[in-house]
């Protein structure tokens, strides 16, 4: 796996083994993203920020989950 990908995974608390399938890692990252997006929604509903601020908050969250926008085929180094 590419070192940049491993660094990003580590930022999210994931430390995959060489045998860990990239598909599983992507699912785990996606699950973490979904938890955070729901928290954002809930915070907005509680009035921590306005609905107008929500899109900007989502953009910032997406920046922290860039791996989700990169195809899995690009996560690995060709042998």
Q: What is the pLDDT along the chain (79 residues), one digit of tens a residue?
A: 999 999 999 999 999 999 999 999 999 999 999 999 999 999 999 999 999 999 999 999 999 999 999 999 999 887 6
- The tally of domains found in the chain comes to 1
- Note whether residue 9 is domain-resident: yes
Residues 6+ apart with CB under 8 A from 4: none
Cα(26)–Cα(68) distance, rounded to whole angstroms? 7
Domain that holds residue 70: 3-74
Cα(3)–Cα(45) distance, rounded to whole angstroms? 38
Cα(6)–Cα(20) distance, rounded to whole angstroms? 12
Residue 25, Cβ density class (10 Å: 0-12 exposed, 13-18 middle, ≥19 buried): buried
pTM: 0.90
Q: Which two tokens stand for residue 40?
A: 């954002």
- Note whether residue 79 is domain-resident: no
């Amino acid at each position: 796996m590419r070192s940049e990908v491993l660094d990003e995974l580590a930022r999210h608390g994931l430390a995959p083994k060489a045998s860990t399938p990239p598909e599983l890692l992507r699912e785990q990252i996606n699950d973490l993203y979904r938890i955070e997006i729901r928290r954002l929604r809930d915070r907005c509903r509680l009035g921590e920020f306005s609905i107008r601020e929500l899109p900007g908050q989502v953009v910032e969250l997406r920046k922290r989950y860039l791996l989700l926008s990169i195809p899995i085929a690009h996560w690995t180094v060709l042998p």
